[in-house]
Amino acid sequence: MALIELGEWVALAPALLLAATALVLFLIDSVSPRSTNRALLAGTATVGSLAALGVAAWFIAADVGLGGIEGFGAIELFDGQLVVDQLALYFTIVVAIVTALVSVASYDYMDGHAYQAEYYSLMMLAATGMATMATANSLVTVFIALELSSLPSYALVSILKDDRGSVEAGLKYFLIGALSSAIMVYGISLIYGATGVLQLDAIATELGTLVDDGAEVGGLLGLGVLMLIGGIAFKTASVPFHFWAPEAYEGAPAPISAFLSSASKAAGFVIAFRVFSTAFPIDVTNELIGIDWTLAFVVLAVVTMTVGNFAAATQDKVKRMLAYSSIGHAGYVLIGLAGLTVDGGELVMGAAMMHLLVYGFMNTGAFLFVALAEHWGVGRTFEDYNGLARRAPVACFALAIFMFSLAGIPPLGGFWSKYFLFVGALETGLLLVAAALVVNSALSLYYYARLVKAVWIEEPLVERDPLAQPTGIYAAIAFAAVMTVVLLPGFGPVVEVALETAGDVWPP
């Protein structure tokens, strides 16, 4: 049965399922406000996430009614304000995967904490916002979806009310987020002032008309684009809007750190991919502005990966190291935007999408190991992790997989995504970016291997009693580790889908 026969609104089913799950969790909380039924709450969130994942994957695999033209096409809703195409579905899958893993792990992590129903509800609302970000086709819906994602995230970071670090991190995250939102919405207003429209394809059409008319709007448009890039840089934790990430990730519950560093980052990048490949055609925009605006992404990519990796190498706290590592990986993904100007951009954009999918497993798994360590009462420094493999060899083996995959060691999934990024950068002539990718990946091996060395080789500072094996966290870590390895033989389909997805939006 074609999807169109069910109504075009069904194309939004993945996002609607996430929103419905949040409402169900609110209903459970209203019926039983003091309920601490962790199995019910975590199970509801997990089932909702998996349902959204299954529907999105089915839409991609079956091409059910999506367009009726060659390729996957698109379904436009609300007069084109939202668009459901393969790009939207691909990133919805990434968000749903991370949400499901975090929901499973939170079953044990939130044991004994207050506000459990609120915790899962807020997480599902944030995931709904991220899925909506993937479908946004207007600067208005982009901003609304961004706020729907951000506002629950501020509360999630500070959900541990009895933990001063969590509350402080949430406050800092909120203040910096409010500033970035103001910058972004002001940039949107400048773009509207220059073009008179907000829908992405309409902006592209209007820019062409402005060039034909010889309009002098370069300064207004250029400043608007620059401020829009700044708002996206905040959401993706890219330099110079990166400094909130170490504070927020360190103070937040570890599963929420995993959620923000993986799902939220993917949602930020899908906005960047769609906006800058649809609304601002390279030739036309450059003629109006007078400069090649994608140079901003070249600079951002090199600076972000370098700052992130060098800062990570100097950290003595594991969670903070992973936070700076996340900034470095944002720099790798920015290569996909840096290559928009030249032939071969489809490959480098597709490689960035591949990396975000692999990153969703390996980075989430790494942060969930930190959640496991916090559950055990292990300290925060590298030395506190010494000798953990003696008591928890399975979890520490999974940690080694995550670390080496993040570093890009073959034959793990992280190697293949970085390999395609490197090849794509070379084919598009971005030699400086390709060199920065290699140098920073080599540097990252130092601090990733340092953590592996601590858990497997170093002598523990104190003799530990037998460690608990919480089912939820162990299950999430094990699944993430298996997928990080299994992606090796299964990388062919990942490459195919990612390149098809990139082909839908490239060339800009």
- Tokens for 274, please give them: 């769609």
Range in 160-164, 203-207, 361-365, 398-402 with the lowest mean pLDDT: 160-164
Distance CA 279, CA 424 (A): 23
Question: Are the C-beta atoms of residues 192 and 183 closer than 8 Å to each other?
Answer: no
Residue 429 Rama label (left phi>0; alpha psi -120 to 50; beta): left
Question: Are the C-beta atoms of residues 360 and 266 closer than 8 Å to each other?
Answer: yes
Distance CA 303, CA 238 (A): 9
| pLDDT at residue number 66 | 45
Show Cβ contacts of residue 148 under 8 Å, excluding neighbours closer than 6 positions. 125, 126, 128, 129, 132
- Tokens for 95, please give them: 């968000």
- Going by C-alpha positions, the residue among 439, 404, 449 that lies closest to residue 332 is 439
| pLDDT at residue number 7 | 61
Show Cβ contacts of residue 35 under 8 Å, excluding neighbours closer than 6 positions. 28, 29, 41, 116, 117
Distance CA 161, CA 163 (A): 5
Cα 358 → chain centroid: 11
Residue 502 — very low, low, confident or very high, per pLDDT cuts 50/70/90? Answer: confident
Q: Inform me whether the pLDDT recorded for 3 exceeds 80.
A: no
Q: Inform me whether the pLDDT recorded for 265 exceeds 50.
A: yes
Distance CA 177, CA 183 (A): 10
Q: Which residues pair with 85 in a beta bridge?
A: 74
Residue 68 — very low, low, confident or very high, per pLDDT cuts 50/70/90? Answer: very low
Residue 150 — very low, low, confident or very high, per pLDDT cuts 50/70/90? Answer: very high
What whole-number percentage of the chain has pLDDT above 70? 93
What whole-number percentage of the chain has pLDDT above 90? 45
Q: Inform me whether the pLDDT recorded for 64 exceeds 50.
A: no
pLDDT in tens, 121-130: 999 999 999 9
Residue 35 — very low, low, confident or very high, per pLDDT cuts 50/70/90? Answer: low
Distance CA 227, CA 232 (A): 9
Which of 212-226, 234-248, 445-459 is modeled with the greatest confidence?
445-459
Distance CA 399, CA 32 (A): 38
**Mean pLDDT, residues 279-288 taken together:** 79
Q: Which residues pair with 138 in a beta bridge?
A: 199
- Tokens for 296, please give them: 């901003």
Q: How many helices (H) and strands (E) does the chain have?
A: 20, 2
- Calculate the CA dihedral of residues 493, 497, 498, 500 and round it to 10 degrees: 140
| pLDDT at residue number 188 | 94
Cα separations in angstroms, 355 against 69, 248, 314: 28, 23, 25
Q: Inform me whether the pLDDT recorded for 4 exceeds 60.
A: no
- Going by C-alpha positions, the residue among 354, 234, 245 that lies closest to residue 300 is 234
**pTM for this structure?**
0.92
Q: Inform me whether the pLDDT recorded for 494 exceeds 80.
A: no
Q: What are phi and psi of 442, to 5 degrees?
A: -65, -40
In this structure, the number of other CB atoms found within 10 A of the CB of residue 443 comes to 18
- Dihedral sign, CA of 456, 462, 466, 471? negative
Distance CA 251, CA 257 (A): 9
| pLDDT at residue number 360 | 92
- Tokens for 389, please give them: 């493999």
Question: Are the C-beta atoms of residues 102 and 255 closer than 8 Å to each other?
Answer: yes
Amino acid at 319: K
Q: Would you give the DSSP letter of residue 466?
A: P
Question: Are the C-beta atoms of residues 399 and 322 closer than 8 Å to each other?
Answer: no
Q: Would you give the DSSP letter of residue 75?
A: E
E strand or H helix at 381, and its extent?
Answer: none
| pLDDT at residue number 345 | 67
Show Cβ contacts of residue 326 under 8 Å, excluding neighbours closer than 6 positions. 237, 245, 249, 261, 265, 308, 363
Q: Inform me whether the pLDDT recorded for 461 exceeds 80.
A: no
- Going by C-alpha positions, the residue among 423, 285, 297, 282 that lies closest to residue 341 is 282
Parallel, antiparallel or unpaired: strands 74-77 and 82-85: antiparallel
Q: Inform me whether the pLDDT recorded for 339 exceeds 70.
A: yes
Q: ∠ CA(489), CA(490), CA(493), 5° rounding?
A: 140
Residue 149 — very low, low, confident or very high, per pLDDT cuts 50/70/90? Answer: very high
- Dihedral sign, CA of 60, 58, 351, 256? positive
- Residue 240 preceded by cis peptide, ω within 30: yes
Q: What are phi and psi of 495, to 5 degrees?
A: -60, -45
Question: Are the C-beta atoms of residues 3 and 59 closer than 8 Å to each other?
Answer: yes
**Mean pLDDT, residues 348-356 taken together:** 88
